[in-house]
Amino acid sequence: MPLSHPPKIAFVASNAPNAQEALGALTARYGQHAPEDAEVICALGGDGFMLGTLHRHGDLGLPVFGMKLGSVGFLMNQYQADGLVDRLHAAERSELKPLEMEALTESGMRHRFLAYNEVSLLRQTRQAAHLEISLNDQVRLEELVCDGILVATPAGSTAYNFSAMGPILPLGSSVIALTPIAPFRPRRWRGAILRADTRVMLRVLDPYKRPVSVTADSHEVRDVVEVRIVESQSHTVKLLFDPAHNLDDRILNEQFVI
């Protein structure tokens, strides 16, 4: 749905001093609406704050326009107070589907979270993790000895996944990345690119001697024995980007940085 002119904007900001200063200046200039009454959310901060904004307000179905006022801003536009209304109307939309993660712990508790970047399993002690990997209920790797493993969305493929030598995925490619973290055995396995609708199940083979935690974006669960991951079919968020710096171009540019 097109935005009105001027649109009803809900400004949200991180606690960083420069973000709070920008929040005051922008609300004085463009007004302020509660997210529930707005047409668009403008997030001021870094990528971490953007992810938090998506988790807090994603169910509203509003497009989100981020402006970088933090240390990392891959999901953000450049900060500029002037011309915001025109930028919002000219912005290009990128649709993101998060991952749905369900983790079962040693105590029998089940935890469910969304992840817009990645779901990552990590060893909790000096002992390497021993993991079994199943895809669509079929065991594909009986034992992976590693520091951990992650499943990344296209939007998250340039973050932790890329640091772990995983592939960068184009938006709209309908694939996800399965990337091991410091794999020891099998030595030649470096991960896989999967269809986005693949049901991934990661089972911890020795949870008592070799405990493992799982993190979905910023939500951590410790002492897990089994983690199931699938792309969400009921949650979608829309990010807005300046045409000269849209997310597709950023992902493409990352693949040519030397």
Residues 147 and 227 in one domain: yes
Strand partners, 121: 149, 214
Q: Is residue 133 part of a domain?
A: yes
In a domain, 206, yes or no: yes
The answer to whether position 185 is within a domain reads yes
Six-digit token pair at 139?
């065991």
pLDDT value at residue 187: 85
Please answer whether residues 159 and 177 qualify as being in contact, where contact means their C-beta atoms are separated by less than 8 angstroms: no
Please state, rounded to an integer, the average pLDDT across all residues of the chain: 93
Annotated binding residue 163: yes
* Pair (215, 250) in one structural domain: no
Query: pLDDT at position 258, please?
Result: 60
**Position 1 in a domain:** no
| 117 annotated to a ligand binding site | yes
In a domain, 55, yes or no: yes
Query: Would strands 219-221 and 9-13 be described as parallel, antiparallel, or unpaired?
Result: unpaired
Residue ranges in the chain whose pLDDT is less than 50? none
182 assigned to a ligand binding site: yes
Is the same domain home to 131 and 155? Answer: yes
Indicate if 47 belongs to the active site: yes
| Residue (of 43, 89, 96, 86) closest to 67 by Cα position | 43
Q: CB of 21 within 8 A of CB of 13? A: no
Residue 4 lies in a domain: no
Contact, 226 vs 104, CB < 8 A? yes
Looking up residue 78, the CATH number of its domain turns out to be 3.40.50.10330
Name the DSSP letter for residue 188: T
Same domain, 132 and 114: yes
Q: What is the CATH number of the domain that holds 132?
A: 2.60.200.30
47 with 88, same domain: the answer is: yes
Q: Are residues 115 and 62 in the same domain?
A: no
Asked whether residue 103 falls in the same domain as residue 53, the answer is no
Same domain, 177 and 63: no
Q: Quote the pLDDT of residue 91.
A: 94
What gap in Å lies between CA 148 and CA 131, rounded to an integer?
A: 8
Same domain? For 82 and 17 the reply is yes
Beta strands 9-13 and 40-45, pairing class:
parallel
Is 118 part of any known ligand binding site?
yes
**pLDDT given at position 178:** 98
Indicate whether 105 and 207 sit together in one domain.
Answer: yes
Q: Are 108 and 142 within one domain?
A: yes
Q: Give the range of the structural domain holding residue 77, as residue numbers without chain letter.
A: 9-97+236-254
* Residue of 70, 62, 51, 77 lying closest to 249 (CA atoms): 77
Residue 257: what pLDDT?
Answer: 65
- Note whether residue 3 is domain-resident: no
Task: Report pTM.
Answer: 0.84
Q: What is the pLDDT of residue 206?
A: 94
Residues 187 and 242 in one domain: no
Count up the domains in the chain and report the number: 2
Which pLDDT score, from 0 to 100, does residue 70 have? 75
Residue 158 marked in a binding site: yes
pLDDT tens, position by position, 9-21:
999 999 999 999 9
Among the listed residues 47, 82, 86, 248, the single catalytic one is 47
Cα–Cα distance, 135 to 209 (Å, whole number) = 25
Residue range 111-124, pLDDT digits in tens: 999 999 999 999 99
